[in-house]
Amino acid sequence: MSEKKVKKDYSKIEITEELIHKLPKTELHCHLDGSCRVQTLIELAAEQKVKLPFDDVEKLREHLEVGDKAKNLGDYLKGFGVTLSVMQEPKAIERIAFELAEDAAKENVRYLEVRYSPILHINKGMRLTEINDAVIRGLSKAESKHNIKTGIIVCGMRSINPETSLRLAEMTVAYKTRKHMAFDLAGQEDGYPAKDHQEAFALILRNNVNVTAHAGEAYGPESIKQAIHDCGAHRIGHGTRLIEDGDLLNYVNDHRIPIEICLSSNVQTKAVKDFKSHPLRIYYDYGLRVTINTDNRLMSATTVSKEIYLASKTFNFNFDDVCNIIINGFKSAFLPYRDRVVLLNEAIAELQTYGFESTYIDDKAAAM
């Protein structure tokens, strides 16, 4: 006769932002050009003689933080013109990549995937490879200094022509053994369907490279369907409107396709009316592999710790739920499976020291 296991009462563990800060975490959806330190932007602008809208840290911060100022995704994307104006030199890119990984490490993010579109950094004539090399240098430096592992995702842009996406895909393939490169499609969804960029995705998939795609943020579930079925996405960025198509939702759930949720960003771009209207709770209860991310640390004035805290308060997630969402992040990393298992097991062991009781029987099954 087997002994009946009593489920632990997690209500006794109070969820605070301090507690979440201490827990090991992942950050899978984070844009390099949306996650710079404001002070750094000002210093780089002075070095490069670039004019910013403000030279004062607080004024520039206020200008770049979106808050409730944006009416839609297009408005939200405007601040990127400012950050990109000083991200046209390898040294600047290296510094920003390093600082982003350092900021993430300081809030105990143990695995960070940074995404950017090299094509947005060529205004001063930098070669695409130079941009990639600079990001790799910055991230590697952070890895040697802090307890963090990093990966890179190259973004094709929906609003830039498909030929450019193909060029970026070719470069991603060439770099695939360096920092576990993956390919993404970002930018305005409405009017720029993912399937136009199918050739780039086909090249990526034929070369066994990982795929994620921004979908179902500013446009309905059709966009998610295209990302999965026409572009072969292994993960979905946002997926906010997946809730509108039950059949597709089941497909995503059955195939354990991770959703990269970015709560603050979704409220700010008006993908959802307010935090309470976000489908995260339903997704979680239904069993979807949801992960929590920042999208843009600067524009959304946030961190992974803040986003998880916000989720726990908005949707009444207890400590068990928080740990499960964190574990989903480790399971969804674009790392080779064997490396993922190691990182996941380390994270579970650490979560247990805070009171989490793992229900996994088999370590390997847990990472699937």
Answer yes or no: 350 catalytic: no
Q: Give the active site residue among 113, 217, 260, 307.
A: 217
Within 151-190, which residues bind Zn ion (CB under 5 A)?
Answer: none
CB of 113 to Zn ion, least distance (A): 11
CA 281 to chain CA centroid, nearest Å: 19
Closer residue to Zn ion in complex, CB, 23/210: 210
Closer residue to Zn ion in complex, CB, 80/284: 80
CB of 14 to Zn ion, least distance (A): 32
CB of 261 to Zn ion, least distance (A): 11
What letter represents residue 348's amino acid?
Answer: I
Nearest residue to Zn ion on Cβ basis = 295
- Number of residues forming the site for Zn ion (CB under 5 A): 1
| Cα separation, 288 vs 136, whole angstroms | 32
| Cα separation, 138 vs 2, whole angstroms | 53
Residues 6+ apart with CB under 8 A from 141: 94, 98
Give the binding range for Zn ion (CB under 5 A) out of 171-179, 193-201, 289-297, 346-354. 289-297
x/- binding map, residues 293-322, to Zn ion, per CB under 5 A?
A: --x---------------------------
CB of 87 to Zn ion, least distance (A): 16
CB of 323 to Zn ion, least distance (A): 25
148: left (phi over 0), alpha (psi -120 to 50) or beta: beta
Give the binding range for Zn ion (CB under 5 A) out of 85-93, 100-108, 292-300, 315-323. 292-300
Give the binding range for Zn ion (CB under 5 A) out of 68-76, 80-88, 153-161, 291-299. 291-299
Closer residue to Zn ion in complex, CB, 52/263: 263
Residue 113 binds to Zn ion (criterion: CB under 5 A): no
CB of 73 to Zn ion, least distance (A): 10
Contact 332, 324 (CB under 8 A): no
> What are the φ and ψ backbone dihedral angles of 204, each rounded to 5 degrees?
-60, -50
| Cα separation, 211 vs 230, whole angstroms | 12
Closer residue to Zn ion in complex, CB, 33/295: 295
Tokens of 367: 């990472």
Residue 294 Cα distances to 46, 63, 237, 347, angstroms: 28, 19, 11, 20
DSSP annotation string for 163-217: HHHHHHHHHHHHTTTSS--EEEEES--TT--GGGGHHHHHHHHHTT-EEEEEESS
Contact 322, 20 (CB under 8 A): yes
Residues assigned a catalytic role: 217
Q: Which residues bind Zn ion (CB under 5 A)?
A: 295
